[in-house]
Structure 1
Amino acid sequence: MPLMRAFFRMSDFPLAKTLLVGISGASGSGKSFFAHKLQTLLAPLSSIILSQDDYYQDLAMLSLHQREKVNFDHPDAVDFELLVHHLHFLRSGRQIEHPLYDFSCHTRRIETASAGPADVVLVDGILIFCHPACRDIFDYRIYIDTPLDICFIRRLHRDITERERTIDSVTQQYLQTVRPMFWQFVQPASRAADMIITDDAIFDDQILCVRDHILKILE
Structure 2
Amino acid sequence: MIKSYIVGITGGSASGKTSLLKEIRKRFNSDEVCILSQDNYYKPVTEQQTDENGHVNFDLPDCINLNEFKSDIEKLASGNTIKRQEYRFQHEVQLGDWITYNPAPIIIVEGLFIFYREDIYSQFDLKIFIDAQENLQLERRIKRDTVERNIPEDFVHYQWKNHVMPAYKKYLEPYKSQADIIINNNSHFNNSLMVIENHFKWHIQSLQQHN
Alignment: residue pair count: 205
| Match of residue 61 from structure 2 | 75
Is the CA contact 2:51–2:57 (under 8 Å) kept in the aligned structure 1? no
Question: Which among 76, 87, 93 is matched to residue 101 of structure 1?
Answer: 87
1:51-102 deviation line (CA, Å, top 9, x unaligned):
221111122467x999x72321121111111111111111122211113113
Is the CA contact 1:32–1:124 (under 8 Å) kept in the aligned structure 2? no
Q: For residues 34 and 186 of structure 2, what CA distance do their matches in structure 1 show? A: 22
Residues 1:126 and 2:147 aligned together? no
CA RMSD of aligned residues (A): 2.7
1:154-175 deviation line (CA, Å, top 9, x unaligned):
1111111111211111110100
Residues 1:172 and 1:200: Cα distance change in structure 2 (over 3 Å): closer
Question: Which among 169, 175, 183 is matched to residue 155 of structure 2?
Answer: 169
Question: Which among 24, 27, 32 is matched to residue 10 of structure 2?
Answer: 24
TM-score relative to the length of structure 2:
0.85
TM-score relative to the length of structure 1:
0.82
| Match of residue 139 from structure 2 | 153
Is the CA contact 1:60–1:107 (under 8 Å) kept in the aligned structure 2? no
Runs of 4+ in structure 1 over 4 Å off: none
Is the CA contact 1:23–1:35 (under 8 Å) kept in the aligned structure 2? no
Q: For residues 75 and 65 of structure 1, what CA distance do their matches in structure 2 show? A: 15
Question: Which among 44, 52, 55 is matched to residue 58 of structure 1?
Answer: 44
**Runs of 5+ consecutive residues of structure 1 not aligned to the other structure:** 1-14
Residues 1:110 and 1:160: Cα distance change in structure 2 (over 3 Å): closer
Aligned residues with identical type, % of pairs: 28
Mapping 1:32-43, distance limit 5 Å: 32-43=18-29
**Following TM superposition, by how much is the alpha carbon of 1:42 offset from its aligned partner in structure 2, in angstroms?**
3.6
Residues 1:211 and 2:206 aligned together? no
Residues 1:194 and 2:196 aligned together? no
**Runs of 5+ consecutive residues of structure 2 not aligned to the other structure:** 207-211
